[in-house]
C-alpha cells in the first residue's frame, strides 16, 4: 500500500463524493481525485455552500480534506495522470427490456463508457504499469466479464478489475462508510489479481476491522450486493403488506411488530411500516435481480422477486387512495401539507421517493401542495418528477415549499407525513391545528405520532395498520 500515491473516482454523486471523502480522511498521504463530466456538479462540490449531496458529517470531512488531498475535476487527464487505483461510482439505472416488455434490466452504458475512456487514455499514453479498477456501483452479475473484455483491447497496460462493496448498517451514508458492518471485495485468483484485492483490503483496514472484510470471487460479490438489497426491500414490503391486513381485521400493526420482532430469528430491523421504500437502490436492484433470473430461465424465481416491487407500488397507491377517500373524494384546490419528500430522513435525495408518488396522485386530484422538508428542495422534487415523466407545467403553481412545518400548514386541510424526519415529531401540532381548515386531517405514513395526543387536539388521525 505504501506504493499508492493517487486514487481517482469516476462519478461525483451520492456514492463517489462521500466514499472518497472518507478515504481521503483516513489516508492523508494519498491524493484523491473525483472526476465527473458534469462541470456544474464539480463546481458544486468545490463550494461548501452548494454541495450537491447532503449527508450528515460530510461537510466536516470535506473541510478536512478538500484542497488538501481531495480534489474535484472535470478534466479526465487530471484524473488519470499517474493514477494507481480508479473507482467507478457512476449511475447504473434500470431500463425496460427490449426482449421482455414486462421486465427491467440494468443499463450499464455509463460503466462501459467510463471503462472505454480509461482504456483509451492509457492506450494513447502508451503506459506500461498496473492500474486497478474498483467497481462501486451496483451492477448485474457478470459485468466483470464484460469489463475485462473492454480492458483486454489494450495489452500495453495491465489492468485489474475488482468489485468492492461496503455494506450499510444505519441510515447515514457517512456513518456507514466509517462503521460498516462488512466490506466485500471480489477479485480473481491470479497473483496479480490477488495483489490488487489485497491492496484494496489494506486501504480499508486503516479503519475497518479485518474480521469485517470478506473476500470472494467477482461473481459472488456482484450477486451479494443485489441479493442483500433485495432481501431488505422484501422485508419492507412484508411488513407493509401486513398493515393492510391489520386495517382489514382490526389488529394493531405496532403490537404485531413487537410480537414478531421479539423472535431473535426475525429481529426488529427494517420492520418499521411506511408508505413504501424509495431511493436509488431497492427497486432497481430487485428488478435487476428478477431480470437476471428471468434471462437464465428461472421464471418462478423472477416472479417471486417482482412481487416485492409490486407490493411496494400497491402500498403507495393504497395510501394515496386512503387520503383521497377520507377527504370525501374532493381535493380540488384544497391545500394539503406534505411533510417530507426525500426518500428517507437526513438526506436531500428524492430519487424514487415514495413521497413523490403520493404527491403526484394528490396533484392529479387537484390538490395544492404546501411542502416542508428540512433538506430537500423544490428543484430536487421537480427533477425527480421529470425523470419519472409525471411532471406537468401547471405544477409550478401547485407546489410551494416552506422553511418550517407551521408555515406550511396554514389554511391546510390535511398534513401528510411521508418521511420519518425527527423534526416532524417535534412540530407544534396544537398550534398548527388552530390555523388549519376543518375538518383537519393528519395522515401518518410513518406512524410517527401518538394517536391519543393528536386526536385529543382535534385532528382526524389516520395511520398505517
Q: Is 274 annotated as a binding residue?
A: yes
114, 281, 350, 427: the catalytic one is 281
Alpha-carbon distances of 454 from 2, 222, 237, 441, 457, rounded to whole Å: 60, 47, 27, 10, 5
| CA–CA dist 315, 237 (Å, integer) | 8
Q: Is 273 annotated as a binding residue?
A: yes
Counting Cβ atoms within 10 Å, is residue 367 exposed (0-12), middle (13-18) or buried (19+)? buried
Check if 394 is active-site: no
Q: Is 272 annotated as a binding residue?
A: yes
Secondary structure class of 111 (helix, strand, coil): helix
Q: Is 353:280 a contact under the CB 8 Å cutoff?
A: no
Q: Is 225 annotated as a binding residue?
A: yes
> Closest Cα to residue 276, out of 226, 321, 229, 240?
240
Torsion of CA 279, 281, 287, 292, to 10 degrees: 170
Q: Is 105:142 a contact under the CB 8 Å cutoff?
A: no
What is the grid cell recorded at 331?
381535493
- Per the listing, cell 394539503 goes with 336
Alpha-carbon distances of 417 from 171, 282, 393, 428, 442, rounded to whole Å: 18, 21, 25, 14, 8
Q: Is 77 annotated as a binding residue?
A: no
- What's phi and psi for 247, nearest 5 deg? -65, -30
Q: Is 257 annotated as a binding residue?
A: no
> Closest Cα to residue 148, out of 167, 138, 135?
135
What is the grid cell recorded at 5?
500515491
Q: Which residues are catalytic?
A: 281
Q: List binding-site positions for NAD(+).
A: 36, 92, 138, 284, 351
Q: Would you list which residues are annotated within the binding site for substrate?
A: 225, 270-274, 278, 344
Instruction: Please give the annotated binding residues, written as ranges.
Output: 36, 92, 138, 225, 270-274, 278, 284, 344, 351
Amino acid at each position: 500500500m505504501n506504493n499508492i500515491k493517487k486514487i481517482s473516482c469516476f462519478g461525483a454523486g451520492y456514492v463517489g463524493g462521500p466514499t472518497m471523502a472518507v478515504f481521503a480522511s483516513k489516508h492523508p498521504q494519498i491524493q484523491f481525485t473525483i472526476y465527473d463530466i458534469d462541470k456544474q456538479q464539480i463546481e458544486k462540490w468545490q463550494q461548501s455552500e452548494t454541495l450537491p449531496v447532503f449527508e450528515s458529517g460530510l461537510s466536516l470531512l470535506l473541510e478536512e480534506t478538500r484542497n488538501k488531498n481531495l480534489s474535484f475535476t472535470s478534466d479526465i487527464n487530471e484524473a488519470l495522470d499517474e493514477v494507481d487505483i480508479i473507482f467507478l461510482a457512476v449511475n447504473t439505472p434500470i431500463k425496460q427490456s427490449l426482449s421482455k416488455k414486462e421486465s427491467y434490466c440494468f443499463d450499464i452504458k455509463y460503466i462501459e463508457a467510463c471503462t472505454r475512456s480509461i482504456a483509451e487514455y492509457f492506450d494513447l499514453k502508451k503506459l506500461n504499469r498496473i492500474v486497478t479498477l474498483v467497481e462501486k456501483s451496483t451492477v448485474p452479475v457478470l459485468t466483470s466479464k464484460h469489463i475485462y473484455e473492454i480492458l483486454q483491447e489494450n495489452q500495453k497496460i495491465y489492468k485489474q478489475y475488482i468489485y468492492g462493496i461496503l455494506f450499510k448498517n444505519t441510515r447515514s451514508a457517512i456513518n456507514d462508510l466509517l462503521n460498516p458492518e462488512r466490506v466485500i471485495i471480489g477479485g480473481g485468483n491470479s497473483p496479480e489479481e490477488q495483489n490488487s484485492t489485497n491492496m484494496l483490503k489494506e486501504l480499508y483496514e486503516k479503519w475497518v476491522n479485518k474480521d469485517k472484510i470478506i473476500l470472494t470471487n467477482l461473481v459472488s460479490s456482484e450477486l451479494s450486493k443485489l441479493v442483500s438489497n433485495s432481501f431488505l426491500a422484501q422485508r419492507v414490503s412484508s411488513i407493509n403488506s401486513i398493515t393492510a391486513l391489520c386495517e382489514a381485521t382490526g389488529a394493531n400493526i405496532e403490537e404485531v411488530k413487537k410480537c414478531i420482532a421479539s423472535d431473535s430469528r426475525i429481529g426488529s430491523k427494517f420492520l418499521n411500516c411506511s408508505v413504501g421504500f424509495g431511493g436509488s437502490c431497492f427497486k432497481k436492484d430487485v428488478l435487476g435481480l428478477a431480470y437476471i433470473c428471468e434471462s437464465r430461465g428461472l421464471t418462478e424465481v423472477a416472479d417471486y422477486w417482482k412481487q416485492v416491487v409490486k407490493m411496494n407500488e400497491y402500498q403507495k397507491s393504497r395510501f394515496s387512495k386512503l387520503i383521497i377517500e377520507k377527504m370525501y373524494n374532493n381535493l380540488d384546490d384544497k391545500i394539503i401539507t406534505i411533510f417530507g419528500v426525500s426518500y428517507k430522513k437526513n438526506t436531500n435525495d428524492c430519487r424514487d421517493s415514495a413521497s413523490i408518488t403520493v404527491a403526484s396522485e394528490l396533484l392529479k386530484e387537484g390538490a395544492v401542495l404546501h411542502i416542508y422538508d428540512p433538506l430537500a428542495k423544490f428543484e430536487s422534487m421537480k427533477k425527480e418528477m421529470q425523470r419519472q415523466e409525471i411532471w406537468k407545467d401547471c405544477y409550478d403553481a401547485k407546489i410551494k415549499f416552506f422553511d418550517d412545518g407551521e408555515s406550511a400548514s396554514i389554511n391546510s386541510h390535511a398534513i401528510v407525513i411521508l418521511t420519518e424526519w425527527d423534526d416532524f415529531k417535534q412540530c407544534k401540532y396544537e398550534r398548527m391545528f388552530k390555523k388549519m381548515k376543518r375538518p383537519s386531517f393528519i395522515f401518518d405514513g410513518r406512524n410517527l405520532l401518538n394517536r391519543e395526543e393528536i386526536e385529543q387536539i382535534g385532528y382526524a388521525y389516520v395511520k398505517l395498520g
